[in-house]
Amino acid sequence: MRLSLLVAAAAMEAGCVVMGHKGRPRPDKDGRYTISAKGIKAQFIPYGATLTNLYVPDKNGKPIDVVLGYDDVDYYPVDPSHPVYNAIPGRYANRIANGEYTIDGVTYYTEKNDGPNTLHSGTNNWSYRFWNVTAHTRDSITFSLLDESESSKGFPGRVESNVTYSVSENRWNIKITARSLDQKTPILLNQHTYFNLDAYRNPETDKIWEHGLYLPYSRRYLAADQGSVPTGDILTAAPGSLNDFASSPDLRLGHARDLPGFEGNCGADGACQGYNHYFLIEDAPRDAVVARLASGFSGVKAELRTDQPGVVLYSCNWSDGTARLKKTQGIRGKHETVTRSSCVAIEAQDWPDGINHPEWNRLDAQIFGPGQLYSWESSWTFGLL
Ligand SMILES: *[C@@H]1O[C@H](CO)[C@@H](O)[C@H](O)[C@H]1NC(C)=O
Ligand SMILES: *[C@@H]1O[C@H](CO)[C@@H](O)[C@H](O)[C@H]1NC(C)=O
Ligand SMILES: *[C@@H]1O[C@H](CO)[C@@H](O)[C@H](O)[C@H]1NC(C)=O
Ligand SMILES: *[C@@H]1O[C@H](CO)[C@@H](O)[C@H](O)[C@H]1NC(C)=O
C-alpha cells in the first residue's frame, strides 16, 4: 500500500512533463520542451531537433542563456539565413567536395548548395525536418527521424536516427544513433550548437575573441581551401600560431587576431576571419575533457567530452547583424543582434569529407551498410572559472 503510494507520487513528480492526448508529450505553451537538473535547464523544439535555450549559472549564481536562438519558435523554419542554430545537420554534416562521392565504384552526385560543394547534405537536410518526439521525461528528451532514400539528392537508402538529450547535475548529455536500413550510405552527424558564454551581456564586447579556448589534444588540424573544404593535408600548429589552441590552457579564441592571415584564415579569399576548421583530437584518454570554452566576464566554463575524433571550430564569420538576439540575451541599445564573430560553434564529429579521402582511413566510420549502427556521444559540463 505504502509502496504503491510512493510509486504513484514518484510518477506524479515525473509527470510535470505535459502530456497530450494518447499520452504523447506536448511542448509548453511557448512551443518548447523543457528538461532540467541541478544547475542546468535546456529547452528544445522538434524542428531540426534543435536546442533553443540553455541556462547555466554565472559567477553571481544567476542562470544565463548561453546558446544562440530565437524567441519565436515559428521563426526557425522560415529564417532565410538558417544558421543551423543548435540543430542536427545530416545525414552527412559539413562539406562534400564537388558534390560527389563514390561507394563500391558507383558515384553519387549530391546537391551543390555551397558554391561547387555540398553543405550539410543540401536541401531537405536533417536540420530542416520536423523530428518526432518519441520520449520525454523531466530530464531527457528523444527525437526520432526516418530519412527516406534520395530525400536529399545523392543519398541512397533509408536511414533512421534517434537523438537523446538529457541533463544531469551541471551537464548536458547528447547521444545520437543512426542506422542504415537497406543500402550502403554515408552518415556523419554532429550537434551544431553556437555559444556565447556571456549571453551577449558583456558591455565591453559582444565578440567571441575574449573567450578562452583550450583544445589540449588538438595540435593537428586539416588544411582547407577557400571554400572550407579539406585539401587532404594535415598540418601541425606551432605554439602561438594562428591555429594553436593546444599549447596552453590560457589561450584566448582571439589570441591570433593581430597575426597576419587571421582575416582570411577561414578562406573566402580573405573575407572569412577566424575559424572554420577541423581540429583532430589525438591521444586523448577516455572521457578526457577535449575542449574547454570559458569566459572571464560571466565566469562560465564549458567542457566537452566526446567519443568523436575531432571538432569543427567555427567562429561565426557569417553572422552579419541581421538576426536578433533572444530576450534572454544582450544589452538593450547596445548588443541586440548577432554580429560577425560574436559566437562560436564547437562541433564534435568525424573527419569532414572523409568519404572523399580514403587515405585518412575514415571510410569504415562514415559509410554504413544495412543494419550497421552509427553512434555518437558527447557531453558539455558547465562550471565556474
Ligand atoms: C537545407 O535544406 C533547405 C530546404 O529544405 C534549404 O533551403 C537549405 O539551403 C539547406 N541548407 C543548407 C545549409 O544547405
Ligand atoms: C514521424 O512518425 C510518423 C509515424 O510513425 C512517420 O510517418 C513520420 O515519417 C515520422 N517523421 C519523421 C520526420 O521521421
Ligand atoms: C530508435 O528508437 C526506436 C524506438 O526506441 C528503436 O526501435 C530503434 O531501433 C532506434 N534506432 C536507432 C538507430 O537507434
Ligand atoms: C565573412 O564576413 C564578411 C563580412 O561580413 C563577408 O563579406 C564574407 O562573405 C563572410 N565570409 C563567409 C565565408 O561567410
Ligand 3 atom nearest 161 alpha carbon: 13
Per the DSSP assignment, residues forming a β-bridge with 58 are none
> Which protein residue has the closest C-alpha to ligand 3 atom 10?
162
Do 204 and 231 belong to one domain?
Answer: yes
Question: Could you tell me the pLDDT band of residue 24, with boundaries at 50, 70 and 90?
Answer: low
At residue 4, does pLDDT exceed 70? Answer: no
Question: Residue 332's CB: how many other CB atoms inside 10 A?
Answer: 7
**pLDDT tens for each residue of 56-65:** 999 999 999 9
Q: What is the DSSP letter of 208?
A: S
Within this chain, do residues 204 and 174 fall inside the same structural domain, yes or no?
A: no
Count: domains in the chain? 2
Sole residue written with cell 558554391: 115
Q: What is the pLDDT of residues 369-383, one digit of tens each?
A: 998 999 999 999 999
Q: Which residues, including other chains, have CB under 8 Å from residue 51's CB and lie 6 or more apart?
A: 42, 43, 44, 67, 69, 86, 87, 165, 191, 193
**Mean per-residue pLDDT over the chain, rounded:** 93
The pLDDT of 345-354, averaged and rounded, is: 98
pLDDT at 19 exceeding the cut of 70: no
Summarize pLDDT for 80-139 with one digit per residue, the tens.
887 789 999 999 999 999 999 999 999 999 999 999 999 999 977 899 999 999 999 999
Is residue 9 a part of any domain in this protein? no
Confirm if 349 and 93 have CB atoms less than 8 A apart.
yes
Q: Which atom of ligand 4 is least distant from the CA of 228?
A: 13
Contact between 215 and 246 under an 8 Å Cβ cutoff? The reply is: yes
pLDDT in tens, 307-333: 999 999 999 999 999 999 999 999 999
Residues in contact with 115: Cβ distance below 8 Å, sequence separation at least 6, in sequence order: 227
The binding-site residues of ligand 1, defined as CB within 6 angstroms of any ligand atom, are 82, 113, 119-120, 122-125, 128
Q: Which ligand is nearest to the CA of 125?
A: 1
Pairwise CA distance, residues 121 & 130, whole Å: 16
Q: Which residues line ligand 2 (CB under 6 A)?
A: 129-132, 145-146
Residues with CB under 6 Å of ligand 4 are: 268, 271-272, 317-318, 320, 340
In this prediction, residue 30 has a pLDDT band, given cuts at 50, 70 and 90, of: confident
Whether pTM > 0.75 for this model: the answer is yes
Last residue of a domain, one of 186, 212, 245: 186
Rounded to 5 degrees, φ, ψ at 384 are -115, 150
The answer to whether the CB of 310 falls within 8 A of the CB of 349 is: yes
pLDDT over 50 (residue 2) = no
C-alpha cell of residue 330 = 544582450
Verify whether residue 169 is a known catalytic residue: no
Q: How many whole angstroms separate alpha carbon 341 and alpha carbon 253?
A: 10
Q: What is the pLDDT of residues 282-305, one digit of tens each?
A: 999 999 999 999 999 999 999 999
Answer with the one of 186, 218, 252 that is the final residue of a domain. 186
159 and 222 housed in the same domain: no
* Any domain includes 127: yes
Does residue 47 sit in the same domain as residue 171?
yes
Answer yes or no: is 5 within a domain: no
Closest ligand 2 atom to 160 CA: 14
| Shared-domain flag, residues 152 and 275 | no
CB 45 within 8 A of CB 76: yes
Residues 45 and 76 in one domain: yes
Residues 168 and 212 in one domain: no
pLDDT at residue 25, rounded to an integer: 60
DSSP 3-state of 107: strand
Q: Whose CA is nearest to atom 9 of ligand 4?
A: 271
Residues 220 and 118 in one domain: no
The residue nearest atom 3 of ligand 3, judged by CA position, is 162
Q: Residue 109 is part of which domain span?
A: 18-186
Q: Is the pLDDT of residue 5 over 80?
A: no
Give the amino acid at 67. Answer: V
Nearest CA to ligand 4 atom 14: 318
Residue 327 sits in a domain of what CATH number? Answer: 2.70.98.10
Instruction: In whole angstroms, give the CA distance from residue 349 to residue 230.
Output: 14
Last residue of a domain, one of 139, 163, 186: 186
347 in catalytic set = yes
| 230 shares its domain with 364 | yes
